[in-house]
Structures are given as C-alpha cells and as structure tokens.
C-alpha cells in the first residue's frame, strides 16, 4: 500500500489491543518497522523489526522521537508523571487514552511541541475504522502529520471542541461494541423464531454487512433508506413500527451513548485528580 506516512521515529508507550491494531495496520500501509519502538513492561512480542523495551528510554540514551503515542490504561497516567517521558521533546504527542484531557497530558510530557488526542475504534485493524482527533494549539504541520498517520486506519474526523470529545468517544469509540451487541440480538431474535442459532448468526452478520456498505455508498440517509425498504402495510414496516416507538431504538441508543459519555467524563475527572 502506498500511504504518505510520516518518516520520523515513533515511540509507542503501551501497545495493547487498540495500539497493536493500529501498529499492524501502519506496518501494512508501509511504515518502516525499524522506526518504531514499543514500551511493553511485559516484553510481549511485536511485529518483526519493531524494537521492544520494557521501560521508557531516557532521552539522553536514545535518538529523538518525532512522535510519541500513549496507549496504556488511562488509570496508569500518574505512573508516568515526573518519569523519563518528561525529558522527551517529540514534535507530536498523541494520546488514545479515553477521558484524559490536554492538561494532564501536558503534565506528563511538558516538552512535547504539540498534543493531539485521538480516539480510534476497533475496525482500524482492517482500515475501516474511525479516528476522531482533537488538538489544543497544535500547529498546521503537526496536524497534517497526525492526519497522514491516521488516514490508513479509516475515516479521520477533527473535532473542533474538546468538550465534545467524550461524546464522540461514546458514539464512534464505543460504537463497535454496540453494533456487535445489536448483531447478536438480531441473531438471537431470529433463533427465537425457530431458525438454527448458527444459521441465524450468519444471516444477521451478512445482513448487517451488506446494509452498512449500502448505506455508506448511498447519498440518502439511513432513515430514508429504511423507509424505502418498508412497503406500506408490509412486514418491514411492521417491524419498524416497533423500533420507531417513543421508547424504541432511538431512546435506547440515546441512553446507551449517554451512559458511555458520562463514564468518559468520570474518567476525565479522575485523571485531573491524579
């Protein structure tokens, strides 16, 4: 694949499920493995060519890193304050820590020239994800570098207001989990009608995949597409009438996203107090 990826050295502090998915996708897109160093306390195996260290290297013992990405658990942020990270001065600090705002990040890496928050979702592993970005004071060159880095992962969206980042995280970051649950519920509903469970699961997944691709390629909104599928008095309309009730799908998802956004804000408050 031919992507205009940044060419500087990159330090990934933590590389779990999400960070690992991003890294593998970048390597598939042409990122040079020799440019990447991963901090993994357990020393877990990484793709061939990627350097693995068990602790953050001291700035005076390593060539400068152009990009540093934080990918550990948000609750671990305090462990890195006043540590070796503080001495590094990357062009860009990228954080994928849910709920952690600019100020706590700046306290951990005060010498970072630009800080960008990123919220990817799991389909970045196949290049069909969403990456929401928010920057507080990052210059145009830093924003361009981060956007180029994220583009192989899927749709890249800049979020202008930092106070909306928790809401975007609830929608796009947590969204795949909700879609997986919907797929499971659709399959269970089919099995409840009498279909074999494994067959209902295959039908549900294929239906979701086809419908999602069709919606993405259509100039019409999903709301309009649903109405077009539903003939007056037909079976699809009978089902939509259930979903469209005041206490139906929109109400349920509203409560779902509100719960996720609320938890993101709680984690942000916890990060401020660390």
Of 34, 55, 60, which is closest to residue 43 (Cα–Cα)? 55
Helices 222-229/197-217 angle, 10° precision: 120
Same domain, 52 and 112: yes
Same domain, 197 and 245: yes
The structure's pTM equals: 0.86
pLDDT digits (tens, 9 = 90+) for 241-263: 999 999 999 999 999 999 999 99
CA distance 92 to 12: 12
Place of tokens 């107090």: 273
Same domain, 248 and 129: no
Q: Tell which of 132, 161, 190 closes a domain.
A: 161
pLDDT digits (tens, 9 = 90+) for 150-190: 999 999 999 989 889 889 999 999 999 999 999 999 999 99
Q: What's the pLDDT at 3?
A: 57
How many structural domains are present in the chain? Answer: 2
pLDDT digits (tens, 9 = 90+) for 197-233: 999 999 999 999 999 999 999 999 999 999 999 999 9
The answer to whether 56 touches 85, Cβ cutoff 8 Å, is yes
Structural domain for 69, as ranges: 10-161
Of 56, 44, 112, 50, which is closest to residue 83 (Cα–Cα)? 56
Confidence band, pLDDT 50/70/90 cuts, at residue 77: confident
User: Rounded to whole angstroms, what are the CA distances from 105 to 132, 138, 263?
Assistant: 17, 14, 19
Confidence band, pLDDT 50/70/90 cuts, at residue 270: confident
Return mean pLDDT, the chain: 92
Classify residue 159 by its DSSP letter: -
Let me know if 224 is exposed, middle or buried by CB neighbors in 10 A (0-12, 13-18, 19+): exposed
């Amino acid at each position: 694949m031919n992507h205009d990826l940044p060419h500087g050295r990159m330090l990934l502090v933590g590389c779990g499920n999400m960070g690992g998915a991003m890294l593998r996708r970048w390597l598939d897109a042409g990122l040079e493995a020799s440019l990447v160093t991963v901090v993994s306390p357990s020393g877990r195996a990484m793709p061939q060519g990627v350097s693995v260290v068990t602790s953050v290297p001291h700035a005076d013992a390593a060539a400068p890193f152009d990009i540093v990405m934080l990918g550990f658990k948000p609750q671990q942020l305090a462990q890195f304050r006043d540590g070796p990270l503080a001495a590094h001065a990357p062009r860009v600090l990228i954080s994928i820590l849910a709920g952690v705002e600019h100020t706590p990040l700046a306290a951990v890496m005060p010498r970072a020239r630009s800080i960008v928050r990123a919220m990817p979702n799991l389909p970045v592993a196949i290049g069909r994800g969403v990456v929401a970005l928010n920057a507080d004071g990052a210059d145009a060159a830093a924003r361009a570098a981060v956007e180029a880095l994220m583009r192989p992962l899927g749709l890249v969206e800049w979020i202008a207001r930092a106070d909306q980042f928790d809401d975007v995280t609830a929608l796009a970051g947590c969204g795949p989990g909700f879609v997986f649950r919907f797929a499971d519920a659709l399959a269970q509903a089919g099995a409840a009608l009498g279909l074999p469970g494994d067959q209902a699961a295959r039908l549900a997944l294929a239906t979701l995949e086809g419908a999602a691709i069709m919606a993405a390629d259509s100039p019409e909104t999903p709301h309009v597409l649903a109405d077009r599928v539903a003939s007056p008095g037909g079976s699809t309309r009978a089902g939509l009438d259930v979903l469209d009730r005041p206490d139906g799908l929109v109400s349920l998802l509203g409560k779902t996203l509100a719960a996720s956004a609320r938890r993101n804000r709680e984690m942000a408050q916890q990060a401020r107090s660390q």
